[in-house]
Structure 1
Amino acid sequence: MAVHEQPHRHTGLRLPSRGIRSALRPDEAANASAATAGSYAFAGLRLLTGFVFLWAFLDKTFGLGYATPSGKGWIDGGSPTKGFLGSVAAGPMKSTFHSWAGAAWVDWLFMAGLLGVGVALVAGVALRLAAVSGTVMMAFMWLAEWPPARHLSDGSPTMSPNPFADYHVIYAVVLVALAAAGAGATWGLGRLWERLPLVSRSPWLR
């Protein structure tokens, strides 16, 4: 019996259409179901991670009263980077971060990074670019907090709860994994994005 198949974006498997999956052997049906569940799991992780970046952008822009106090947002004249970079108390880039703190070009780059990565993840497009730019951002933030030592607001040192599996490292790994898995195809615009002439000619834009 001929079996019509459809490509699966993330695993390279040729998945049968739903109407004939019952004709598959149990192990084949299980593999197909696992691949589908995996694509949904990656899509959910992509959306949640994208919201993390978008929320940070919105809070810092409008001063929503969470990480950024009301009236201290970017649109109110506040700096998204001055407090964070200005309080760096250790690490090889301490003096560099202090000189960057509050600079307009740093504020714009940081906020553009948050917005760009957030929109790319939520929409499911340009995940490779998002992974690269997001990883660079996380690397600089990791350096600014410089594990294994953290510093309290009064400047006194305290040990990080986990100097190896820092959350900045985890976010960077998640971004790379989402791009590698092509996670924009499920619950996203990834397939439409890849059909654009410019994107189809330039794989690094996917």
Structure 2
Amino acid sequence: MTFSSSHDVDPRSTSAARPGPFTESPAARLVWALTRLSIGWVFLWAFLDKTFGLGHETPEANAWLEGGHPTEGFLSKAAKGPFQSFYNSLAGYTIIDWIFMVGLLGIGVALILGIAMRVAAGAGALMLVMMWSAVLPPENNIFMDDHLVYALVLIGLALVHAGDTLGLGAWWSRLGLVRKFPVLR
């Protein structure tokens, strides 16, 4: 199997169809941006539903604002496999709820705005891998599931600067603090 990039294209070629790396074409930039917005909405929706009990996955009576524990049900009932006891031991702790909810909100907002993509991708990938490890083995495959796929996509989004298209990423990257600490890019 070989991989190629635009750098492998014969420079004598007159094809205008590929002026640069494919990830930089307008169509690819748009797809990456829409993917970023979509995954951002997944995180933000989970935060909103768990906070306000919008009734999709979280009934109003179990809303975080009503004193519910957003992580308790999953950690105490859904966790299985080799890490079950670890995840069960975290269920019901307020600090775990806060870490989870702030993570959902921060990752969702960063992805929607297209800012702090490296931080959002790293935190989101970590959260998704932890969710994956809480239910090992996955239902439909011996190891792969949507949590791992989303984690890889998040990393890809950061690598291609997906926040620059339909987002504030280009502006964000010019900020002095971000230039000084590129991890904030």
TM bracket (short chain): 0.7 to 0.9
Q: Which runs of 5+ in 2 are unaligned?
A: 8-12
Q: Give yes or no for the alignment of 1:37 onto 2:24.
A: no
Q: Which has the higher strand share?
A: 1
| Equivalent residue number for residue 3 of structure 1 | none
Change (3 A) 1:12 1:60: farther
SS across alignment from 1:147 = coil
Distance 1:57 1:122 in 2: 13
- Cα distance in 2 for partners of 1:12, 1:131 equals 25
Amino acid at match of 2:181: S
What residue number does 1:154 align with? none
In structure 1, runs of 5+ residues without a counterpart are: 1-10, 14-24, 149-159
- Structure with higher helix content: 2
Structure 2 distance, partners of 1:89, 1:46, is: 28
Q: Which consecutive segments of 4 or more residues in structure 1 shift more than 3 A?
A: none
| Preserved contact between residue 142 and residue 168 of structure 1 (Cα < 8 Å) | yes
Aligned residue for 1:185?
A: 164
The 2-side partners of 1:32 and 1:48 are apart by 28
Partner of 1:27: 15
CA apart distance, 1:61: 0.3
Cα pair 1:123 1:184 within 8 Å, conserved: yes
State how far apart, in whole Å, the 2-side matches of 1:89 and 1:48 are.
26
Q: What is residue 60 of structure 2 aligned with on the other side?
A: 70
Q: What number of residue pairs does the alignment pair up?
A: 173
Q: What is residue 171 of structure 1 aligned with on the other side?
A: 150
What secondary structure sits across from 1:75 in the alignment? helix
The Cα of 1:12 is off from its aligned counterpart by 9.5
Give the share of equivalent positions with the same residue, in percent: 49
C-alpha change, 1:191 and 1:116, in structure 2 (3 Å) is same
Q: Which has the larger radius of gyration?
A: 1
- TM-score calculated relative to the size of structure 1: 0.79
Q: Which residue of 2 aligns with 1:199?
A: 178
